[in-house]
Structure 1
Amino acid sequence: MSPRDTLTVEIPSRWVGPLRISGNAIDDEVEVPLATYESPLWPSVGRGARVSRMIEGGIRATLLDARMARSSLFVAPDAAGAFAADQVLHEREEELREAVAGTSRFARLIDVHTEVVGNLLFVRYALTTGDASGHNMVTHAAEALQALILSWDLGLEYGSISGNYCTDKKPSAVNGDLGRGRRVVADILIPHDVLEKTLRTDAKRMVDLVVRKNLVGGTIAGSLRSANAHYANMLLAIYLATGQDAANIVEGSQGITYAEEREEGLYFSCSLPHLIVGTVGNGKHLAHVDEALERLGCRAEREPGANANRLAAIIAATVLCGELSLLAAQTNQGELMRAHRSMERGRGSAAQRPAGTPGEEAQS
């Protein structure tokens, strides 16, 4: 590649927060980097972050699972042959685990799922991949597994190293069902007075909007395992700032916002079943990415996977901040557009305003 083929793209970026986050992967206050052309996103997430600092424990981020998946495709003579081979695969899973362990210091096979369609056998491998997002690691492991399985002389032929049953960078149901990436739930209990003073709304209006907009509106739109307002906004902004594969927001933005009106206030949660992120690997060597991960506390000496788990928890909390602020704005007629006009068409753009100016009160 010649120097003329190299292109550097400038994306406006800001640190927002800090967010107060607790849970099984992090207990800290952190600022988060957001790279975006949608300037109102910074004060929007900032308002949610301010709410988190007003509550003991802030946002609770619970890491439920961590894995990466790759599916391989085999071709059998017929369905009976595919089914017979399927039985052998499950009987010899220990051999598959040993083969995966031999491909990497960090890759470990934790699950195998299969589907037979006609004479086609789809085999979906799930691996733990340490602090890497794991795309290349699982493909490398799948190559070794495919060669091993074909050597067993089960009447199978090579179909594809990736059979789309993974599934990568496409909306699907399988990733929500079986997992791919980090599965995280971020939730918070916001007292009534904080709702009124900081978000200018109340628990009933918020719950009504979550049900009517996200759940019902999303259903009639045909959303797939997804009911949220704008997870993709926060995901893309923090993915770009931390060197993630931005295309993974396709499945990452499939998540569900849920809310309840309680005596103490508003219970509000964001469930993200497949956050595909890593703190090592492609792009993580870049100076601005390295600085961002260092400042986020994701470069510390921890057991394999702990830094990526911390990053996933931070991202889930960031999503909650932006989701909370946007929905609160939409409970008040006219507020959303006023905020955008103020931020994007005022005397200066949000990127030019110093933190703490009136624009901080607006929301996306």
Structure 2
Amino acid sequence: MPKLNLSQNGTTSIFEQGPDTDKLEQLLEPHFERPSLRLTPSPYISEKNLTKRWQKLESLTDQDALLDEQSKTNAELYNKNIEHFIGTVKLPVGIAGPLRVNGLYANKDYLVPLATTEAALVASYNRGAQLITAAGGASAMLLNEGVTRTPVFAFERLADAGQFVAWVVTQYDHFKQVAESTTSHGKLHDINVNIDGNQVYLVFEFHTGDASGQNMVTIATHKVFHYILEHAPIEPREAFLDGNLSGDKKPNTHTLRHVRGKKVSADVHLSRELVKKYLHTTPEKMVKFGQMTTTGSALSGGIGVNAHYANALAALYIACGQDAACVAESAIGMTRMEINEQGGLYACVTLPNLMLGTVGGGTGLPSQKACLDILGLHGSGNAKALAEVAASLCLAGELSIVGAFCADHFTRAHQKLAR
């Protein structure tokens, strides 16, 4: 293996003992011969395509590990969810709960399915859920919702951009009609304008009903985008459907104060006795931990402050057919703990980027629908409740992990359950 020589300032200088120059050039040269491995021309699922794909794969792995009988039986169901299908990956699914949620939309005890390969994760959320339930439940409130797409237009000069914006602000009703002609569920809710010199970013914000809504919003905005190109009094020099202002699948600071998806806050009051019984620590210790780690988060350049929202959301999203890549933005938010008037612990979380739904996407696939059925939240009318459950689950996880660090049980739990 080549050995890296690091200079004093930490930058890589040159291979200290690597291959000779000719060998290095040969290794890194581009090669243009025909690939020995090829996919089927059609990306769709059919018995013929599956057979052809596995003819190429059978020498690499056991077909039954990915394409078992249930995967074969349900193969046609996946046609709208994946291309070049070869089977399914099985992940262990555990249950945390009961988690009592006292929300505007979620208002009962929930058993929460979590799909993960990380030992101790379900145990931690289960402990937090039981603690919250023993305290009477978490209060949860959906604060706002909206899914965005942000086309960008470039002009020759600022004056042209100004004329373009002057026209745009008169077109809301037209844009709304065009956008909503593409969907029976999506509603154009708002348009914001951002000018950066000769470039204009338009932020189209939609309400998407019970769907997560990324595809719905993309299709609707695309229709408006082309309406703009055809009717704008000033022709843009360049234009693109998305200018990367939406924060789609990327952590960003903008939505900490706004929304993308569903914005939810959840809180709970815990007596001193419950903190001691379930977490084996004190409210004072947990508040001090929160103060010191908030400073650590700021020093590291973190966006928001939380211990591990991503653990809850990744496991919940995978189990329930959500777009797992949205964890990149959904796992941003604020956790806060303080001593309440009774000397117990007050804890709250606010998550402004919960991208989730109960219809569409992967929510109707057999295993994922089964997990939503366990929650009682599959189908229309349930997305807002799912968002409140997700926030309450994150609250449970924050309490459990902070308690584990304060009681010095974090490592012990992983050693016990992960070995």
Relative to the length of structure 2, the TM-score reads: 0.78
Aligned position for 1:244: 322
Deviation string 1:309-347 (CA, Å, 9 cap, x unpaired) is 1111111111111111000011123x11111111111xx
Higher relative contact order (CA 8 A, sep 6+): 1
Aligned position for 1:40: 120
Instruction: Say whether 1:93 aligns with 2:172.
Output: yes
Q: Distance in 2 between matches of 1:327 and 1:114?
A: 41
Instruction: Say whether 1:340 aligns with 2:414.
Output: yes
Q: CA deviation at 1:178?
A: 3.1
Q: Which runs of 5+ in 1 are unaligned?
A: 346-364
Judge which range, 87-96 or 43-52, deviates more.
87-96
Instruction: Say whether 1:114 aligns with 2:193.
Output: yes
Q: Percent identity?
A: 34
Instruction: Say whether 1:162 aligns with 2:242.
Output: yes
SS in 2 for 1:169: coil
Q: Distance in 2 between matches of 1:201 and 1:289?
A: 37
Instruction: Say whether 1:75 aligns with 2:154.
Output: yes
Q: Distance in 2 between matches of 1:299 and 1:243?
A: 10
Q: CA deviation at 1:174?
A: 2.1
Correspondence for 1:183 among 240, 248, 263: 263
Aligned position for 1:173: 253
Q: Which amino acid aligns with 1:332?
A: A
Whichever of the two has the greater Rg, that structure is 2
> Does the 8 A contact of 1:166 with 1:175 survive in 2?
no
Aligned position for 2:276: 196
Taking the TM superposition and a 5 Å limit, the aligned residue runs for 1:205-354 are: 205-213=285-293, 215-224=294-303, 226-264=304-342, 265-299=344-378, 302=381, 307-333=382-408, 335-345=409-419
> Does the 8 A contact of 1:125 with 1:142 survive in 2?
yes
Q: CA deviation at 1:243?
A: 0.5
Q: CA deviation at 1:300?
A: 5.7
SS in 2 for 1:185: strand
Cα distance 1:48–1:126, how it changes in 2: closer, same or farther (>3 A)? Answer: same
Correspondence for 1:104 among 164, 180, 183: 183
Q: CA deviation at 1:118?
A: 2.6
Q: CA deviation at 1:60?
A: 1.0
- Count of matched residue pairs: 337
Instruction: Say whether 1:10 aligns with 2:84.
Output: no
Cα distance 1:140–1:300, how it changes in 2: closer, same or farther (>3 A)? Answer: closer
Judge which range, 190-199 or 78-87, deviates more.
78-87
Q: Which amino acid aligns with 2:296?
A: G
Q: Distance in 2 between matches of 1:38 and 1:124?
A: 38
Q: Which amino acid aligns with 2:172?
A: E
Correspondence for 2:107 among 21, 27, 46: 27
> Does the 8 A contact of 1:260 with 1:266 survive in 2?
yes
SS in 2 for 1:68: strand
Q: Distance in 2 between matches of 1:247 and 1:73?
A: 23
Relative to the length of structure 1, the TM-score reads: 0.89
SS in 2 for 1:342: helix
